[in-house]
Structure 1
């Protein structure tokens, strides 16, 4: 039997499929992973399992039922986010904030075009090394990954995200 079958003029649903649809309908945590703007997966969390939904082709999707949220986070989500990431030595511990709009432009142009504005936005005194390193990372870009977390708390949906940029220079 498949996930959904038509038998004796009735639709028959696989129990696992019904459970997965229940998680999709009732979840309050969704994680989206996008790798190189091509491969996208959505993870729907429940208390005891996670359902992954991925697009295979137009109008065709894959559903996978994973284990507990902790197991899925550590065994599926984090490893996918770290694929092709080299463990490079930390050269700086400085922080730099970049708006999502600027990040997209930097990625498309493969470099920082407005370093003065970025320095001002971060309230830096001069052109620090971290800006130069980020520019070099965009120039030598290998992969980009994005993780977005949507969660329902206090009667409202919230969104948090993380972009991971991989280059042979810096991550």
Structure 2
């Protein structure tokens, strides 16, 4: 008779996350490349036109989170080089500074400035400081959304913790 092997006790620390079960699927990987590009383009369009039409930093950030999660499911790795939590302070600082500058100049908080620029490539289009605020919101939403999603992805319902015993 061979001796029975003991199963190692689960650790309370963070385990290395296993790749998603679909990360080896060649069809998903191929389709996700095109879908990632289209969703990111749509997110940039929503971000660009957000101060004048439906859209803005919040919904563009959610679209980007969806695209980045699709990439992670398809490839098993993150498309970002840095942890998503590092985006949040930059986004919040950019949004606050955008509102603070007009206030320091004697105007209402978050007062937007705008104007028109004409280029040979695009013709005339409006610029506004509200876009800078939206970029701050965008960075905050992408950082927090990806952080939440990654933490939820690490939860293993079959895993046990010390308090369960």
Q: Same fold (TM over 0.5)?
A: no
Higher RCO, Cα 8 Å, sep 6+: 2
Query: Which structure has greater helix proportion?
Result: 2
Coarse TM-score class (shorter-chain normalised): under 0.3
Larger radius of gyration: 2
Query: Which structure has greater strand proportion?
Result: 1
